[in-house]
Chain A
Amino acid sequence: MSDTLIAWQGPDGLALTVPADGVLPEDAAAAVVPKDAPRIILPRSALPNAWDFLSAWDFDEKTGARVNIARARDVHRDRIRAARAPALRAADVDFIRAIESSDDEARAAVAARRQALRDLPASPEIEAAGTLADLRAFWPSELLGPSPYAA
């Protein structure tokens, strides 16, 4: 298993090329990376230990890649939106049942839960997060279910 990668600036952002066993990184780069594209060959261990936020990485000519924390916040918001979708569908069912049963208290509770779900992506904790650890820590499991960051 190759431990060396080529980080390079693709037309749409960072790209990482992983050579197969027996393939020299230079050969892999020559076949994939455009000639004028900035690149760096480096060990995997030199990259950020944040593969769960890979889509928030930017190319860096010195280190290969760095985490863009602003984009990481957006990634985290998208994950919350994705996780709340089934929760909202479940809340819709609960809301209809509360209406059908004329249970105003239940209807209000469902309405509050739905609003909390809607508000989650805009939570100030996300914007205040300065590190990936801060982002991973903000995951209201009572609303969204198990955290995707759990080991």
Chain B
Amino acid sequence: MTTAFQPNTVLRAAQLNAAFATKANLDPATGKVRAAELPDLGAIADEALDARMPAINASIAAVQSDADAAAQAAATAQGAADAAQADADAAAAAAAAALAAAQAAQGDADEARADADAAVALAGAAIPLSEKGAAGGVASLGSDGKVPAAQLPPLGSSSGSARAWANFDGRNGTIRASENIASVTLLAGTGNYRVSFVNPMPHANFAAVFGGRFGDEASDSTVAIVAEPRSVQPTRSASHIDLKTNWQDGWAGGTSGSPIHTVMLAVFA
């Protein structure tokens, strides 16, 4: 009988001894145990194996169960890990978005700061309104783009320069050129003028020189008499001087004749 051993079948020594104890007859010819007397090792092994199978199966089942549990746990852990990874990814995306927003906000803030700095610099360079046309400040400009006469210092001086002068048309008062002259007034009557100064003379005892021309402005104009009138009092003050010509719009009676087309005046003080 051929004993078929299952792979990994282990026979215990006790089983072999028992088998030999009961059947210890050797073949004289060969000195070996007869095959027929050999115990059925396969059966023994099968029995032994059968006897152990429940335990083996139980072990296998236990191992399998442990493995399943471990796998389940691993799966659970994997799920948790995946969820955590997803959360982490979402958190990272949120953080990145927040960072971008913060950087954009920082850019806006930098730009606003630059604008504010520029505005501050501009404001610092601007001239306060209170300093315009004020002592210690700056002169303002009139509607004609020039510094108003009131903001100019007195012209001329006592050293020889005229403090005021004018060249005007005696026919209609048009001022051709002047300095420190506020106005020319054509008074009633013929050839009566009042010339006012922007900045008054330091006193009324100033010296004034006059000149005039009448007749044909283009060709044969003649020297006219210009003087301070005697009949008008006062004829002068620190702020004005009255003039009279014999010829403005008049020859004999003062109401007729060739007009004075040029009256000239210079005042020294």
Contacts and interface: CB of A to CB of B under 8 A. Distances in A.
B187 A31 contact: no
Contacts of B251: 79, 82-83, 85
A15 B187 contact: yes
**Interface bracket on A:** 35 or more
B7 interface: no
Contact of A28 (B146, B183, B189, B250): B183
Contacts of B175: 1-2, 18, 20-21
Contacts of A79: 251, 255-257
Interface in B177-198: 178, 181-190, 194, 196, 198
Contacts of B250: 55, 78, 82
A65 to B, nearest CB: 11
B79 to A, nearest CB: 91
Given A2-B175, A52-B259, A10 B183 contact: no
A45 to B, nearest CB: 12
B253 interface: yes
B209 to A, nearest CB: 19
A96 B98 CA distance: 123
B189 A27 contact: no
Contacts of A28: 182-183, 196
A23 B185 CA distance: 14
B194 to A, nearest CB: 7
Interface string B106-148: 0000000000000000000000000000000000001010111
Contacts of A31: 182-183, 196, 239-240
Contact of A78 (B146, B181, B253): B253
Interface in A88-137: none
Contact of B198 (A10, A16, A17, A23): A23
B183 to A, nearest CB: 4
A85 B173 contact: no
Nearest to A10: B188
B182 A18 contact: no
A74 B142 CA distance: 44
A19 B196 CA distance: 9
Contact of B149 (A14, A18, A22, A74): A22
B192 to A, nearest CB: 9
B148 A22 contact: yes
A145 interface: no
Contact of B174 (A17, A18, A24, A55): A18
A112 B198 CA distance: 57
Nearest to B181: A20
Nearest to B150: A27
A67 interface: no
Contacts of A44: 172
A5 interface: yes
Contact of B182 (A19, A54, A81, A85): A19
Contact of A55 (B142, B168, B184, B249): B249
A83 B252 CA distance: 9
7 contacts: A1-B174, A11-B188, A13-B189, A15-B188, A21-B146, A55-B190, A148-B258
